């Protein structure tokens, strides 16, 4: 049936993009023609963000200026700090980051002189600040300055979170995860952000659309859900037994499978290596081994492979990041991709408005109120 075939818009080409290729024969995953392996292994998140937003890799001078610019955009307006203080301690960090971004729109709206790229840079540089300002205010009453600390966005986040300079290995692991999370073609949140942009709405509205769409566990929320899964089990053996029960009950296992990839997620091997490296440095391989056992069971029983979210969970855990911050970290990185797509959508824009196959009742006669049951 036609509806089943197109359910979830699977295999539908919904537009054109020059930003990235996902799962395309002979091209693999690349951002503007650069392989994800090179970007993650040899570059930094700032180089990736610059590439996505400004269309080319920065040279040494441009990169230095860009990093200085981003560092100068970490500070939060006083009135935004007040708003963050009003959000309850029990709020989900995704509510905090979405509200913070939304509030910033009213203090620094998109207007002539404040470009889309500038807003993207501002949001990448300050969304971690929003989250950690709210976090420290509610856990220790501290009204922290968010402008200092760390050279890049990853280092800044870890330093603000832990109150000390991060180990280089930790900074690098988070930075790599940001590069991997930065962009992924017409995924659900990017497509949603493009739909909002296609109505000629503003940057902040399109970005908050992306945040809301990313949150669900079938999309970005899967990294948080994968950690919750891992924590249910105390050992690889328990994980195997528990997983067999979940599969028998036909439950979804978060962090596995993908709409576009059918054999593997090219980002997974890179983040898995980091999970192993951090475990070895910690001198405790148990969480890694528990994760690997789940991977083996999923391959054996379902022929399914881990996606980026699965090993990101153990990496973030080993960086001492609370589970509820996992999806917001995905937001920080994906702002780069969303913004590049919003900017691309605006060029030669046409409103995105598909049609639906109608499956409701045939037209009938109007029923006066007294005749209705
Ligand atoms: N655990 C268990 N079974 C899974 C699964 C998972 N993580 N992912 C897919 N499957 C099964 C489906 O139940 C379906 O089985 P069926 O044919 O017996 O009904 C089959 O594999 C095909 O999956 P389908 O639902 O068509 O995939 P999709 O393209 O609609 O959805 C995802 C893709 C990513 C949403 C899906 O794989 C999923 O829910 N994964 C877990 C959430 C996740 O990790 N999301 C992050 C993605 S980067």
Domain total in the chain: 2
Report the distance separating Cα 158 and Cα 171, nearest Å: 7
Token pair 């669900």 in the structure block, residue: 216
Radius of gyration of the CA atoms of the chain, in A: 22
The verdict on residue 356 lying in a domain is no
State the residue range of the domain holding 313.
Answer: 222-318
Band of pLDDT at residue 3, cut at 50, 70 and 90: very low
- The pLDDT value recorded for residue 171 is 98
pLDDT single digits (tens) 142-187: 999 999 878 899 999 999 999 999 999 999 999 999 999 999 999 9
Are 203 and 159 within one domain?
Answer: yes
pLDDT of residue 6: 53
Give φ, ψ of 86 to 5 degrees: -75, -20
What lies within 8 Å, CB to CB, of 283 at 6+ separation is none
Residues 229 and 97 in one domain: no
Q: Which atom of ligand 1 is the closest one to the Cα of 258?
A: 34
Q: What is the CATH number of the domain that holds 253?
A: 1.10.230.10
293 and 184 in a common domain: no
For 288-337, the pLDDT digits (tens) are 999 999 999 999 999 999 999 999 999 999 999 999 999 999 999 999 99
Pair 62, 202 in one domain? yes
Q: Check whether residue 150 and residue 279 sit in a common domain.
A: no
Q: Are residues 202 and 182 in the same domain?
A: yes
pTM of the complete model beyond 0.85:
yes
For 230-276, what is each residue's pLDDT tens digit? Answer: 999 999 999 999 999 999 999 999 999 999 999 999 999 999 999 99
Same domain, 253 and 183: no
Does the pLDDT at position 225 exceed 80? yes
Which residues are known catalytic residues? 219, 258, 309
- Residues 205, 95, single domain; the answer is yes
Round to the nearest angstrom and report the end-to-end CA distance of the chain.
34
Residue 352 lies in a domain: no
**Three-class SS state of 279:** helix
Together in a domain, 147 and 178: yes
Crossing angle of the two packed helices 116-140 and 203-214, in degrees rounded to 10 = 50
**7 domain-assigned:** no
User: What pLDDT, on a 0 to 100 scale, did the predictor assign at position 290?
Assistant: 97
- Note whether 98 and 127 are same-domain residues: yes
Q: Which residues line ligand 1 (CB under 6 A)?
A: 8, 218-219, 222, 252-259, 302, 304, 307, 309
Q: Are residues 179 and 276 in the same domain?
A: no
Report the atom number in ligand 1 closest to the C-alpha of 259: 29
How many Å lie between the centroid of ligand 1 and the Cα of residue 110?
38
Site to probe by mutation for ligand 1, drawn from 257, 299, 312 as the one with most ligand atoms within 8 Å of Cβ, is 257
CATH number of the domain at 60, please.
1.10.580.10
Residue 359 falls inside a structural domain: no
Q: Mean per-residue pLDDT for 102-114?
A: 97
Q: Does position 2 have pLDDT exceeding 90, yes or no?
A: no
**Per-chain mean pLDDT for the chain:** 96
4 domain-assigned: no
Measured by CA distance, the residue closest to atom 2 of ligand 1 is: 252
In a domain? residue 314: yes
Summarised one tens digit per residue, pLDDT across range 12-43 is 999 999 999 998 877 889 999 999 999 999 99
pLDDT score of 27: 81
């Amino acid at each position: 049936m036609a509806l089943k075939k197109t359910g979830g818009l699977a295999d539908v080409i919904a537009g054109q993009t020059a930003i990235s290729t996902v799962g395309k024969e002979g091209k693999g995953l690349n951002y503007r023609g650069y392989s994800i392996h090179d970007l993650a292994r040899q570059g930094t998140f700032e180089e990736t963000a610059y590439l996505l937003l400004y269309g080319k890799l920065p040279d040494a001078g441009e990169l230095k200026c860009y990093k200085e610019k981003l560092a100068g955009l970490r500070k939060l307006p006083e009135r935004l700090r007040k708003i963050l203080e009003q959000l309850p301690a029990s709020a989900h960090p995704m509510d905090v980051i979405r509200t913070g971004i939304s509030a910033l729109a009213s203090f620094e709206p998109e207007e002539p002189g404040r470009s889309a790229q500038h807003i993207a840079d501002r949001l990448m540089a300050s969304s971690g600040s929003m989250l950690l300002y709210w976090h420290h205010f509610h856990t220790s009453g501290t009204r922290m300055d968010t402008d200092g600390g760390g050279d890049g966005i990853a280092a800044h986040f870890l330093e603000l979170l832990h109150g000390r300079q991060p180990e280089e290995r930790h900074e690098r692991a988070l930075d790599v995860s940001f590069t991997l999370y930065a962009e992924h073609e017409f995924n659900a949140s990017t497509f949603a952000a493009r739909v909002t942009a296609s109505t000629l709405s503003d940057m902040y509205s399109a970005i908050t659309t992306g945040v809301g769409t990313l949150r669900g566990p079938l999309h970005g929320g899967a990294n948080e859900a994968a950690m919750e899964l891992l924590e249910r089990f105390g050992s690889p053996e328990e994980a195997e037994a528990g997983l067999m029960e979940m599969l028998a009950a036909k439950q979804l296992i978060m962090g596995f499978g993908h709409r576009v990839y059918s054999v593997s997620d090219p980002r997974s091997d890179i983040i898995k290596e980091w999970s192993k490296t951090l475990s070895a440095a910690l001198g405790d391989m148990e969480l890694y081994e528990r994760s690997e056992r789940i991977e083996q069971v999923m391959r054996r029983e379902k022929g399914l492979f881990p996606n980026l979210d699965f090993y990101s969970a153990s990496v973030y855990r080993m960086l001492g990041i609370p589970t509820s911050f996992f999806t917001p970290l995905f937001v920080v990185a994906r702002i780069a991709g969303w913004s590049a797509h919003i900017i691309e959508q605006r060029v030669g824009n046409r409103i995105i408005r598909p049609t639906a196959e109608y499956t409701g009742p045939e037209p009938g006669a109007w029923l006066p109120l007294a005749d209705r049951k």
